[in-house]
Structure formats: structure tokens, C-alpha cells
Chains A and B, each alone.
Chain A
């Protein structure tokens, strides 16, 4: 009983966030590759300051959705609005400035293996011909954020999977993006490293309040994002009071190319949809 008012408060916060002009909006988006549709009639929004966790089994089209959101793929039907601009069908040259306002963490990190960690993290700054001294200081700051300051001059081949993922996060954050996409940031990692990555994602959410779209099929990561917050004073994540969930972290779920759920943690765990129930169980 005592949970109801808290859930109502969280719902109200989420509703206020959703009413603001979204940083990302999908309207009836469909895409297919030489076969049945991978995504069909998908619609949702990401409001400023909101963290949306996209759940679904492997191979359901989560990464495709993320690539559509960043204009790396073009939908067959529907509209995608990124920072209020329609990007479906937009020319690649016009997309580049928009993409520089976003950060993207790829599934396996996608670090440039011929460049050092410093050059990987500073890639965008180097293209903008930022002064070398400033690049070094910003790279060190970004690497410290992910706890990898000592890897500055190493090559990606000498890093572990988890370290690569953290360097990829540093690369995505160095330009202070207005929206971040995480593509299975903990996929294939051991539980300890996964928790470190989730803590970083949480830190970005709670310290800088940057909206994000997180793709994952790991429920434990998704629930941890909802049940914890990052405490800047203690420099670690702490659990929220029992029965409370993070107010601006909400869920989406894909099944067979369709969006079958869009709502809060409370709505998710109380959903009657058989697929959602099966997925959660």
C-alpha cells in the first residue's frame, strides 16, 4: 500500500519529462533487410534528462533501433526526430553535425585498433583540430571518469574487454553529448566488470543528467539502473530506499520487431503481457 504514492510520484516525474520536447522521437518506424521486417511500427520518445532502457531477447532488433536513432541506418517507413530534426532520409553530410551532439557506445567498444587510447578518446577533438595540450587534459579527465587514467598511451589490443568498453564510454562522453546511446554496454562481461560499467552509466545519468537510450538483454543491469543512484559524495552507487525506483528511468520492450511495452519499472513488473511476464521470469 505504501508503495502506491511513491509510484504515483515517479509516474508524475516521468510524465513531466515526457511532456517536454523530446530529444529523440520515433514515429511508426519500420525497417526490413531482405526479408520480414526487423522493426515494425515502432513509436516512442526520449525526453530531456530521461534514461530509457530498451529490453528484448537477442536478435530482436535492439541494435538496429539504436543505429536508426543515430541515423546510421535509414528506416523504410516512419519518422525519426533527433533534437527536433527529422533524420529519416537526411543526407549523410547533414547528419554529421547532429551526430557530434550524441555519444554512442558500441557493443564491443568499436575502438580504432590502429590508434592509442588517447587518440581513440580524442578522435572527435582531433578532427576539430583542438589544441594538443587541451586534448591531453580532456582525455585524462575522461579516462579518470572511467577509472582508466593509466591506459593513456596504450593500444586497444592490450586492454581487456571491460577496459575497452570503458574507453568507449570515455570516447562517447568527452564531447559532452546531449544524448547517449549504449548498445549492450555489459554484454559478454563478467558480473564485477558489468557492475563497474553500470555504475559509470549511472554516474553519467545522475551527475550530468544526460538523457540516454540503453539497449540490453540483461535484466539485472536494467533493474540495478532503476534501484540505485550514483552518490557523488561517496563516489559510488547506493541503493534507493526500498520500494522506490529512479524517477526518470523507464523501460521499452521489443518482441518480434514490435514495441510491446513502454512504461515505468512499476508498470513493467505488473504487466499482464505474456511475453513481458515470460521475459521477466
Chain B
């Protein structure tokens, strides 16, 4: 009995991965095939980009601040508090900026995509769209993916910048260090591969957030309870996937640029 349920669960996981791969693949190919719904793209870009700007800005700022606080405490043991700027900028740009932005946007937008599309499924709006001769994958999913990728790229830059400012605020006003030293350390040790690493990640994360949110939304079953389940699955899976893909990209980038 236990083996049977284990077997069923394993098959279910494999089937979900297969369905997701086909779904995500088709949605990706649609990015390059007309028709592209530009008005939908702009609307989603506004919802994802402008709508998430404040939470990304604040989380970036305070994360930078916390980094400066914690690192300064540790670095002071070695008399190296002067390199706080380098520590904060490197951490934010290479790692925390993209991942934090990804997780914040996932919590806000993967959930909203899953619940919006899930509600459309249970009220037969998706079937109605198909019956009217419109492909929901092109009309609803592709613009969301396109908007999420492009907006996450810019949101990450915002998070990086405000993280560095947050670190500067803590360094100057709480640790009473020199702002010029902080910014020159933050800038001086930054290399192109670091920036590249930080800007490649959001492209993948944006794709993960939108495709996971739409995937779970469109496979909603079981009425309003099902919408809730889809929302949870979308947020949990996209967050885990973001951290996993972050690990893979970091490994590849470190190998590529040997740093």
C-alpha cells in the first residue's frame, strides 16, 4: 500500500516535470513567433515592474544595511572594516540582488499569476478564450514571461543600487566610517564578470517566476480551494527553483571566469 502511493507520487512528480518542460518550452518559443500581444506585455510590465519597485527597493536597501552591519562586526576583528564597501557591493551584485529580487517578485507575482489564471480556469474563462479561437498560451503566458524577464532585469539593478546605498547609510551613520572609502572600495574591486553574473541571473529567474506561476495557474482544478493550492505551489516551487538555478549559474560563472 505504502509502495503503491510512493509509486503514484513519483509518477506524479515525473509527469509534472514533463508537463512543465513542454509548457515552458512552448511558452519560450512563442517569444519569437507572432502574434506577440504588445498591449498585454506593457500591462504586465507595469504590474510586475512598477508594482514591485517599492518592495524591491526597500528589501534591497535593508539587506545592504544588514550586510554592512554584520560584516563590519566581523571585519573589525581583523582591523579590516575599511573593506565593508567591497563586501557589500560584491554580495549584492553577484548574489543577493538577483536572488532577493527573484524571491520578492516570486512572492508577489508568481502568486498573482497563479491565482488570476487559476480563477480564469475555474470560471471557464480559459475555455471561453480557446472557444473564441485565441491561444491562452500566447495571449496570457508569453506576455507575462516576456514582461517578467525584462522587468526583473531592471528591478535587480534597482535592488543592487539600493543595497549599496543601504550599506553606505549603515557604514556612515551607524559605524561612523568614511563614505568615500566605502564607495571607492565598492567600485574598485568590481569586475565585469561580477556584473555579468548579477545580470544574467534575473533573466533566468524572471523566466522561472512567470512560467511557474502561469503553469500552476493553468492546471488548477477543484474550484476556489484549487486556486489556493495552485498559488502555494507556484510560490514554493518558483522560490526553490530560483535558489537551485542560482546555484547552477554561480557554479558555471565561477568556472567560466575562474573567480
Interfacial residues, chain A to chain B (CB-CB below 8 A): 67, 70, 72, 92-93, 96-97, 99-100, 102, 104, 106-108, 110-113, 123-124, 127, 171
Contacts and interface: CB of A to CB of B under 8 A. Distances in A.
B128 interface: yes
B132 A108 contact: no
Interface in B130-189: 130-135
Interface string B100-113: 00000000000000
Contacts of A104: 128, 131
B225 to A, nearest CB: 18
B125 to A, nearest CB: 5
Interface residues of B, number: 12
Count chain A CB atoms within 10 A of each CB in B123, B128, B129, B135 and give the residue with the most.
Answer: B128
Nearest to B26: A92
13 contacts: A67-B127, A97-B133, A99-B130, A100-B133, A106-B128, A106-B131, A107-B124, A108-B124, A110-B125, A111-B125, A112-B129, A113-B125, A127-B133
A259 to B, nearest CB: 23
Contact of A123 (B123, B127, B134): B134
Given A97-B133, A100-B133, A113-B125, 4 more contacts: A96-B130, A106-B124, A123-B134, A171-B132
Interface of B: 123-125, 127-135
A110 B130 CA distance: 12
A115 B66 CA distance: 45
A68 to B, nearest CB: 12
B125 A127 contact: no
A16 B134 CA distance: 35
Q: Which 7 A-B pairs have the closest CB atoms?
A: A100-B133, A110-B128, A110-B124, A104-B131, A96-B133, A99-B133, A106-B124
B147 to A, nearest CB: 16
Given A72-B130, A99-B130, A93 B124 contact: no
A105 to B, nearest CB: 9
A82 to B, nearest CB: 12
A72 B127 contact: yes
B134 A102 contact: no
Contacts of A112: 125, 128-129
A127 to B, nearest CB: 6
A99 B132 contact: yes
Contacts of A171: 132
A110 B123 contact: yes
Contacts of A110: 123-125, 127-128
B143 to A, nearest CB: 14
B189 to A, nearest CB: 49
A122 to B, nearest CB: 11
A113 B125 CA distance: 9
Nearest to B137: A92
B222 to A, nearest CB: 13
Contacts of B131: 70, 72, 99, 102, 104, 106
Contacts of B134: 96, 123-124, 127
A93 B132 CA distance: 13
